[in-house]
Amino acid sequence: MQDTLGRKINYLRVSVTDLCNLRCMYCMPAHGVCKKDHDSILRIEEIAEIVKAAVELGINKVRLTGGEPLVRKGILDLVGEIGSIEAIKDFSMTTNGVLLKKYAQALKAAGLHRVNISLDTLNAEKYKYITRGGHLQDVLDGIAEAKRVGLLPLKINVVLIGGFNDDEITDFVELTLQEEVEIRFIELMPVGEASTWAKTHFLSNETVLEKFPDLVPEITNDKSSPAKYFKLPQSKGRVGLINPISNHFCGACNRLRVTADGKIKPCLHANAEIDIRKLLAAGKTLTDILAAAILQKPAGHKLNDPNFEPIERNMYQIGG
């Protein structure tokens, strides 16, 4: 389905939980989040129904995210339900990778196509610091298992944080020389915990290109991809730059988001939300609700406006 600006909306991102087994400093408060009342979080069956209705409207790309999707009870059942929908051509998950060693094989068997793994540092001490207690080796084991079972292509998300991992850009880029992996550098966005951080730690992705002038841009036909891709000569993998701030991609936005507590967000950076359960109770169908949300997509975010106010929700609530 197209929105009012003619953008074809074919990508649904669903946050399946706002809980997480890490506490990344730019995403979660140190004390974590209060466990929500069980009833306020969408049930697995409800999420599956939403995805099915979205597919009727032309969604053919689905990503599960969170919080940490692998801590959600019933996640394998949900992956199995979505994995069996033929019209879905790209079915992925964004995960911190901590539990992937345990789940990768079952996820693949249930129909998941691929994973994006978030990893902001290759140094065990720094990993423990930024995640407030995580173990780097768990993620490395998870990455190895995802590769082994074929959750490919493997993408690694690295949020660029000034003063924290700018000294590791070279190590990350050089991983693409020998490995068929996509390293995607993401600019820190002023959302939730990071809304004040972003000003002091923001680093433009241009920094990567300055360090590696021999990165060659790839020509791609996929205008809706937020990443611009580059390759080093002779490398097996590639480098993606996702610049929501310095060069935003709203004009080609193809996505709709659903939060774990059942709200549709037509835009990540706007507070507007549509309460699915409330509208269902008022007699609307899921397809009506999703179609109306698509028509409410704004033209673009206002992150670069001098008077921009960061949104009220955190990334772990919306799903990055």
Specify the residue, 183 or 279, whose C-beta has the smaller distance to ligand SAM: 183
Specify the residue, 83 or 320, whose C-beta has the smaller distance to ligand SAM: 320
CA dihedral 291, 293, 298, 301 (to 10 degrees): -130
Identify what 23 binds: ligand SF4, ligand SAM, none; CB under 5 to 8 Å per kind. Answer: ligand SF4
Shortest Å, Cβ 270 to ligand SF4: 20
Shortest Å, Cβ 240 to ligand SF4: 18
Identify what 253 binds: ligand SAM, ligand SF4, none; CB under 5 to 8 Å per kind. Answer: none
Site membership for ligand SF4, residue 91 (CB under 6 A): no
Specify the residue, 164 or 316, whose C-beta has the smaller distance to ligand SF4: 316
Q: Which residues bind ligand SAM (CB under 6 A)?
A: 20, 26-27, 65-66, 68, 94-96, 118, 157, 159, 186, 188-189, 191, 194, 315-316, 319-320
Shortest Å, Cβ 94 to ligand SF4: 8
Nearest-angstrom CA–CA distance, 180 and 202: 28
Please name the residue ranges forming H helices in the chain.
44-56, 75-83, 100-110, 124-130, 136-149, 169-178, 194-201, 206-211, 276-281, 286-295, 315-318
* Stretch 108-147: interaction string toward ligand SF4, x if CB under 6 A: ----------x-----------------------------
From 261, 316, 317, 318, residue interacting with ligand SF4 (rule: CB under 6 A)? 316
Shortest Å, Cβ 65 to ligand SAM: 5
What residues have CB less than 8 Å from 247, skipping those under 6 apart? none
Specify the residue, 2 or 196, whose C-beta has the smaller distance to ligand SF4: 196
Specify the residue, 197 or 316, whose C-beta has the smaller distance to ligand SF4: 316
Provide the token pair at 100: 């992937």
* Stretch 14-53: interaction string toward ligand SF4, x if CB under 6 A: ------x-xxx--xx-------------------------
* Stretch 50-79: interaction string toward ligand SF4, x if CB under 6 A: ----------------xxx-----------
Torsional sign, CA 288, 54, 316, 248: negative
Shortest Å, Cβ 313 to ligand SAM: 11
Specify the residue, 172 or 316, whose C-beta has the smaller distance to ligand SF4: 316
Strand order of the β-sheet with 154-160 is: 216-217, 227-231, 238-242, 181-187, 154-160, 114-118, 90-95, 61-65, 11-15, 255-258, 263-265, 274-275
Residue 113 CA to its chain's centroid (Å) = 15
Identify what 28 binds: ligand SF4, ligand SAM, none; CB under 5 to 8 Å per kind. Answer: ligand SF4
Nearest-angstrom CA–CA distance, 160 and 157: 9
Site membership for ligand SF4, residue 317 (CB under 6 A): no
Cβ–Cβ < 8 Å for 27, 33? no
Residue 237 CA to its chain's centroid (Å) = 20
Nearest Cα neighbor of 77 from 36, 106, 40, 39 is 106
CA distances from 136 to 96, 142, 159, 212 (A): 10, 10, 16, 26
